[in-house]
Amino acid sequence: MKKLYFFILMTINSSGIWAQTPDNQPKTFVYTLGSATIKVVVYEQNNPNQITYFNLHDNENTSVEATQVILKNPKNSGKLVELQHSGERLISFEYQGAKYQIDPNRMFTKVGIEKNLKNYGNYSDAARDTVFAFGQKIYRDFLQGSRLIVAMHNNKNEGYNVKSYLPGGEYKTDAQDVFYNPKWGTGEFFYVIDQAHFAFFKQKKVSAVLQDPQKVTDDGSLSVFAQNQGMAYLNVEAQHGNLKPQIKMLTILQDLLQKIFAK
Ligand SMILES: [Zn+2]
């Protein structure tokens, strides 16, 4: 099934331009960042409430599968936007004769982009600016206007997990509040920027991290950008391969969406 899905995409995309496809078929849009080609694959299942599920790390495929399962249920609705480039987490590109690497979840603020490029090797102001322009294009074309952005992520549950935000954890200063339920394991948690979302997940006994709007490090990530812009945003983290738990999390999220949009 998966092979067929990719075959269809490649066929649709062979013209390299905006593709017309029947309803409920993914549409592919092609962008460039320096020498790199980035495909943006969009799958939409109705979308009366303008909910955008967004996968930007190309190696985090469990999160894509979980979203597809949820959107295939006719009771649910939303749009899935998926960045595809190399199958890797990072985007590698050449620009003005030099090589760069960027984490696509660090491309939404100039401060964050600078730190990120330096972290992976070469840096120039010109490269920073072209990454920023690319990030803003993706934001304008696929995210702006959404009534909720749901970032879909997977982690290895090694260095980074919900405990990273607890006392003693590497990112504890980024969090204003943490609810940790060990029944979910440590890789599965919601990362949110809205107090009401945090309260909802805590009441549902799912692990959740509430970003601290003042103390959070400007790392250029979408959660920081969303908070700066006043956008509704949350992030669904699950360990790679933990498809069922991530589907369960998205099912719980549908209850929150009902609550928000039933008004
Ligand atoms: Zn990710």
The Å distance, Cα 53 to ligand 1 centre, comes to 13
CB contact at 8 A, 36 and 91 = yes
Q: What pLDDT score does 100 carry?
A: 98
Distance from Cα 217 to the centre of ligand 1, integer Å:
17
Within the chain, which residues score under 70 in pLDDT?
1-24, 263
In sequence order, the β-bridge partners of residue 151 are: 54, 235
How many whole angstroms separate alpha carbon 9 and alpha carbon 13? 6
Distance 163 CA to ligand 1 centre (A): 17
**How far is the centre of ligand 1, averaged over its atoms, from the C-alpha of 59 (Å)?**
8
Per-residue confidence (pLDDT) for residue 202, from 0 to 100: 98
Compute, in angstroms, the gap from residue 257 CA to the centroid of ligand 1.
Answer: 22
Q: What is the pLDDT of residue 23?
A: 57
What pLDDT sits at residue 217?
97
Q: Do 102 and 131 contact (CB within 8 A), yes or no?
A: yes
Kindly give the distance from the C-alpha atom of residue 202 to the centroid of ligand 1, in angstroms, as a whole number: 22
What spacing in Å lies between the alpha carbon of 55 and ligand 1's midpoint?
7
Residue 88 identity: E
177-207, pLDDT tens digit by residue? 999 999 999 999 999 999 999 999 999 999 9
Cα–Cα nearest to 228, from 122, 109, 132, 126: 109
Query: 57 CA to middle of ligand 1, Å?
Result: 5
- Rounded to the nearest angstrom, the distance between the alpha carbon of 153 and the centre of ligand 1 is 4
Judge residue 165's burial from the number of C-beta atoms within 10 Å of its C-beta, 0-12 exposed, 13-18 middle, 19 or more buried.
Answer: buried
Q: How far is the CA of 263 from the centre of ligand 1 (A)?
A: 32
Q: What is the pLDDT of residue 124?
A: 98
In DSSP notation, the chain reads -HHHHHHHHHHHHTT-SPPP--TTS-EEEEEEETTEEEEEEEEEE--TT-EEEEE--TT-HHHHHHHHHHHHSTT--EEEEEEESSSSSSEEEEETTEEEEE-GGG-SSHHHHHHHHHHHS---HHHHHHHHHHHHHHIIIIITT-SEEEEEEEE-SSSSSGGGGSTTSTTGGGEEEEE--GGG-SS-EEEES-HHHHHHHHHTT--EEEE-TTT----S-HHHHHHHHT--EEEEEEETT-HHHHHHHHHHHHHHHHHHHT-
Centre of ligand 1 from the C-alpha of residue 154, in Å: 5
- The 10s digit of each residue's pLDDT in 60-100 is 999 999 999 999 999 999 999 999 999 999 999 999 999 99
